[in-house]
Structure 1
Amino acid sequence: MGENFSVASGQAFTWQTIYKFVIVQLFVVIFLCINLLLIGTFFSKEFFYTTTRYMFFAVTLMSDSFILIISNILVLLNFFSLPIQFYQCVIIYIPLVIFTFVTPITLTAMTLERYVAICMPLRHAELCSTRNTVHIIIIIHGLSSVPITIVLSVFFASAMGSVYTKYTTCSMDMFIIFQWHDYFKLAVYQFYFLIMSITIIFSYIAIVKVAKAASGENKKSTWKGLRTVALHGFQLLLCLIQLWCPFIESAMLEINLQLFKDVRYFNYLTFNIAPRCLSPLIYGLRDEKLFGALKSTVHFGFSSAKLHINSKG
């Protein structure tokens, strides 16, 4: 298990390192395929891309897919110790941070949509029209761009000119020059997640009150919406813990290098990949309309493939 082998670059890997790397690649490929399948299903019917909650769902799917792709590029670069120029790392870093915020902010918007649907049903059609939803999606991306703008502005104001010409292994730590930069970045991130957490808790409490007063089919629908809000809250919690991972990993590095690597690997799987995989489970499997369309899409794909094989035969 401890036996090493070398690659062309001269770097040696243990079988354990390769095993962990392969596991990450399998998870990324599997969930990217699931996300792409759901995105295809979303665009297969006009009902989905003109309905607010499905439009938000599609945004989270695309955002999570981008995060999986971009973060996996970083995994590949670090695994093979491939240095890149600083500006290339900035190009990778900007969309990664933006989409890191797009998902939780969209989850918050989805929670508010459920709140309006259950607590303000008479105004739901007016407030959650297709036009308003498109405007909200634009606002979500605008809000998601604010943290990276602040972080990079602080970095560029403090960085020496020589840093821009360096080749380095791309890491988020390279944008932290002084320790206060890290605390400042964390403060901005935590402010966002505090607002989102308060919004989800408020919506949850309001829906609980409506659920207790509802009866019959309304009660069943309300409790289903309540479970969805709870799952959004759990997703948001995972995203929030992800922000604390660098501090946890830094503490582990001072104790033991191998412990640091193990904790970082666990954090990546649990708090980076896992939250990106919950959206397909929450909506793709629990939503009857989407799940029905998904089964039709998969069945059509298998039928087409079978027909193609038979025609060749």
Structure 2
Amino acid sequence: MGCWFAGSQLEMLVAGLLVFIISKTLLIKTHVSFRLPTIQNWFFCLRSLLVKNWKMNSTVWIVDSYEEALAKNLVIVSLGLIINFINGMLVVTFFSNPMFSRDSRYILYIHLVINDMLMICLSVTLYVLTYVSPFVNSSLCCVLVVLGSTTFMITPLNLAGMAIERFIAICKPLHHAQICTPQRTYIFICLLWVIGAIPSLADIIILLLIQPISFFSSLVLCYPFSLFPSKAHKDRTTASQVIYMSLVWIILIYTYCRVLFTARKAVSKGSANKAQRTILLHGVQLLLCMLSYIAPVLDLIVTPFFPVHRTKITFLNYLITNIMPRLLSPLIYGVRDQKFLKQMKEYFTCKVIIVKIMPSKL
């Protein structure tokens, strides 16, 4: 099933929908000059607003079939549940042993896991909304997009904090216990949320300046580029991503080099080499997080070769660049840590109790 229409037809379709809703609400018999589609057709036609191809200087809207849309949503929701289940096991392991809550290293790690869980929930919710209810109240959409953007920005900042903690542990071992206390770690996490929320709050301020108050009670396509379409928003996005990612990469490179020099001077190089590999791992995690930055570029490169399969390309792109890294990054770090892995095995392994029944003596 498909829904193909151009610009003028789109206006007629939306106008017809509004007339249909008003007539049903006021119980007025209303006649329009074209046949109103069924609810299922509305689903496909509204979904198609998010995916478009430019061909021969005209806009052609492509939409998934019902079966394809259902399959994609099942895959995304299932993966989201699986990833959050695995991450939930890591969270339960953390709280099962008080030792972890006294170590700043594990506190920062579990904050990374919880942040990824929130991001998965928001990302999957927004994805499903584009199919189920493309038009969402602007205020609700702002909340979802702002929270999603904030959790996305916090991930690399948290990785930078974990690298700094390892740098202090290796290069300033005598001061580590005084600097990296649990209380200061929680303060640092609060600071991460403030810094991570600044770009999203800037988007809201720009929106308040260029849009009337009535905009926040209207219906919009709940998609960042639809909610924040102005040039000011695009400039803000580019500037914040460049600044934040550059800062994180500088921190990772600096801490890695300092730990590398310390390892060469140290008599016992075991802990220093391990910290060096840990910071390298943070760099790999950061690269995984940055995959989402190349998603638009991949769309632009691949789509012209397969214009008919644009929705499939967008789906695979979203799956590879946004969903899968959220599974790999916590697992790589959690499984690698022997203390954490041992505690997880002890907590989740089924203990078999063998009861031996002895015959009674009469």
- TM-score bracket for the superposition, by shorter chain length: 0.7 to 0.9
**Contact conserved, 2:206 with 2:232, CA < 8 A, in 1?**
no
Partner of 1:186: 238
**Matched letter for residue 110 of structure 2:** A
Closer/same/farther in 2, CA of residues 258 and 136 from structure 1, 3 Å limit: farther
Q: Shift in Å at residue 135 of structure 1?
A: 1.4
Unaligned residue ranges in structure 1 (runs of 5+): 308-313
Aligned partner of 2:261 among 209, 212, 215: 209
CA contact (8 A) 2:100 2:107 kept: yes
Q: Choose which of 326, 337, 343 in structure 2 pairs with 1:276.
A: 326
Where 2:229 maps in the other structure, the secondary structure is: coil
Equivalent of residue 249 in structure 2, options 175, 183, 197: 197
Amino acid in the other structure paired with 2:246: L
Deviation at 1:9, TM superposition (A): 3.7
Question: Which has the larger displacement, 45-54 or 242-251?
Answer: 242-251
Contact 2:154 2:193 in 1 (8 A): yes
| Alignment map for 1:225-240 (pairs within 5 Å) | 225-240=275-290
| Residues 82 and 184 of structure 1: CA distance in aligned 2, closer, same or farther (over 3 Å) | closer
Question: Structure 1 residues 249 and 166, CA, compared in 2 at 3 Å: closer, same or farther?
Answer: farther
Asked if 1:117 corresponds to 2:169, the answer is yes
Name 1:311's counterpart in structure 2: none
CA contact under 8 A between 1:57 and 1:279: conserved in structure 2?
Answer: no
Q: Percent identity?
A: 26
TM-score, length-scaled by structure 2? 0.75
Compute the displacement of 1:82 (Å): 4.1
Does structure 2 retain, via aligned residues, the 8 Å contact 1:242–1:272?
Answer: yes
Cα deviation per residue 1:208-229 (whole Å; 9 max; x = unaligned)?
Answer: 22223334xx422222222221
Contact 1:24 1:269 in 2 (8 A): yes
Q: CA deviation at 1:169?
A: 3.1
Return the TM-score normalized by structure 1.
0.86
Q: C-alpha distance in 2, partners of 1:235/1:89? A: 29
Distance 1:102-1:278 versus aligned 2 partners, 3 A rule: same
Q: Select which of 224, 228, 236 maps to 1:172.
A: 224
CA contact (8 A) 2:203 2:228 kept: no
For 1:121-136, what aligned pairs fall within 5 Å after superposition? Answer: 121-136=173-188
Higher helix fraction (1 or 2) = 1
Deviations 1:227-279 (A, max 9, x none): 22112112212323423434654676777654543343233222212332233
User: What residue number does 1:310 align with?
Assistant: none
More displaced stretch, 50-59 vs 263-272: 263-272
Secondary structure of the 2:222 match is: coil
2:316 is aligned with 1:266: yes
Counterparts in 2 of 1:279 and 1:168: CA distance versus 1, 3 Å: same
Structure 2 residue 73 is matched with structure 1 residue 21: yes
> How far does the alpha carbon of each residue in 1:72-129 deviate from its partner, in whole angstroms, 9 at most, with x for none?
1111111224422111101211211111122211111000001111111111111111
What secondary structure is seen at the aligned counterpart in 2 of 1:47?
helix
Shift in Å, 1:30: 1.1
Q: Distance in 1 between matches of 2:249 and 2:193?
A: 18
2:85 maps to 1:33:
yes
Match of 1:73 among 125, 138, 157: 125
Select between 44-53 and 147-156 the one with higher mean Cα deviation: 147-156
Compared with structure 1, are the counterparts of its residues 260 and 208 closer, same or farther at alpha carbon in structure 2 (3 Å cutoff)? farther
1:75-114 correspondence runs (5 A): 75-114=127-166
Q: Tell me which of 271, 286, 291 is aligned to 2:341.
A: 291
2:6 equivalent in structure 1: none
Deviation at 1:8, TM superposition (A): 6.5
Going from structure 1 to structure 2, the CA distance change for 1:93 and 1:265 (only over 3 Å counts) comes to: same
CA gap of 1:164–1:234, structure 2 versus 1, over 3 A, is same
Aligned 8 A contact 2:150 2:197 in 1:
yes
Distance 1:161 1:135, change over 3 A: closer
Judged with a 3 Å threshold, the aligned counterparts in structure 2 of structure 1 residues 273 and 237 are, in CA distance, closer, same or farther, namely: same
Which residue of the partner structure matches residue 273 of structure 2?
Answer: 223
Q: Could you say if the C-alpha distance between residues 14 and 182 of structure 1 is closer, same or farther in structure 2, counting changes exceeding 3 Å? A: same
Amino acid in the other structure paired with 1:273: I
- Counting matched residue pairs gives 299
Q: Residue 292 of structure 2 aligns with which residue? A: 242
- What is the CA distance between 1:51 and its match in structure 2? 0.4
Partner AA of 1:233 in structure 2: G
Q: How far does residue 183 in structure 1 lie from its aligned partner after superposition?
A: 2.6
The 1:246/1:176 distance shift into structure 2, 3 A limit, reads farther
Per-residue CA shift, 1:173-197, capped at 9, x if unaligned? 1233323421322211221111011
Code of the aligned partner of 2:230: F
For residue 337 of structure 2, what is the amino acid of its counterpart?
D
Highest Rg: 1 or 2? Answer: 2
